[in-house]
Amino acid sequence: MIKSRRELLLTLPPSHYCERARWALDHCGIEYDEERLAPGAHILRVRRLPVATTALPVLVLRDGSICQGSDLILDWTEMSGGVPEIEQRLEEKTAPLIRQCLYAGLLSDPKSGIRDVLFRVTSRPQSVFGRLTWPILRPMMVSGMNARLEVLPDLIAQVDSELDWFDQVISERGDYLSGEEFGRADLTAASLLAPIANLQTEPVRSISEGIRWPVSLASALKHWSKRSSVKWVQQVYATKRGSVRNL
């Protein structure tokens, strides 16, 4: 069993699931270090751990035990204010759709800046490995997520209907998804919708700095920016994201 002084959060920095875990740790005042990995290179690192898959985030606890997945990490923090049915839909349907949709536009456009964003805030060896393997990695990401340009219009329509659902949720529930206080469900929704909210709030702003949205996505993002869901995300980030410990 490996013991360390602080918890260690392994992330792919731009991942919204990783932001969900990072925010929960920040919110709960937990001292941790963040090890920022590059896609592709992360596999070599995560395979050294006793976990079933290479998906991040992974939290390595001080006693050497491990939580894999943002949901289990939030369970471990014991944050209150969860709404399981809303969080489950966000985690299993809305968030993968948003990821697939954005990558379908970004990976097909060499000027999108996505390569630099994926490797910029990682360690030097991770970044070098990632950049060298990019010609192989990029098509692997496209096929792994089915993030092809041809499916982008359909993905935009599907994200739109997820926002119809979430607009309805917030109109029924008011400012917070569970009761009168900010809680786990709010944090989950805001972080998993963050990639489409053009946030100027840290850490999302710094991590995604340099993205140039392809025309195909820019108009969808502009349209979404007027929706209640996106305004709600911006408001929650502006008022609740609070201090970011590990930038």
Ligand X SMILES: N[C@@H](CCC(=O)N[C@@H](CS)C(=O)NCC(=O)O)C(=O)O
Q: Determine if the peptide bond prior to 57 is cis (ω within 30°).
A: yes
* Residue 55 near ligand X by CB under 6 A: yes
Contact window for ligand X (CB under 6 A) among 12-20, 126-134, 171-179, 208-216: 12-20
Q: By the 8 A CB rule, do 23 and 207 touch?
A: no
Work out whether 192 is an interface residue with ligand X (CB under 6 A).
no
Q: What is the largest CA-CA distance in the chain?
A: 51
When binding is defined by CB under 6 A, the residue of 7, 91, 162, 186 that contacts ligand X is 91
In angstroms, the CA 198 to CA 208 distance is 9
Q: Is 12 in the site for ligand X (CB under 6 A)?
A: yes
Place of tokens 């939030």: 74
Helix 152-173 vs helix 215-224: crossing angle, to nearest 10: 10
Closer by beta carbon to ligand X, 127 or else 219: 127
CA angle 69, 70, 74 (to 5 degrees): 125
The residue among 56 and 159 lying less far from ligand X, judged by its C-beta, is 56
The answer to the question of residue 56 lying near ligand X (CB under 6 A) is yes
Alpha-carbon gap, residue 215 to 77, rounded angstroms: 40
182 near ligand X, judged by CB under 6 A: no
- Judged by CB, which is closer to ligand X: 51, or 228? 51
Total of chain residues touching ligand X, rule CB under 6 A: 13
Q: CB under 6 A: which stretch of 51-59, 117-125, 171-179, 183-191 binds ligand X?
A: 51-59
69 touching ligand X, by CB under 6 A: yes
- Return all residues near 128 (Cβ < 8 A) that are at least 6 apart: none
Q: Tokens 């990019």 — which residue?
A: 134
Out of 60, 70, 138, 203, the only residue in the binding site for ligand X (CB under 6 A) is 70
- What is the per-residue binding string for ligand X in 93-122, x denoting contact by CB under 6 A? ------x-----------------------
Per the structure block, which two tokens stand in for 140? 């692997």
Q: Which residues bind ligand X (CB under 6 A)?
A: 12, 15, 17, 53-57, 69-71, 91, 99
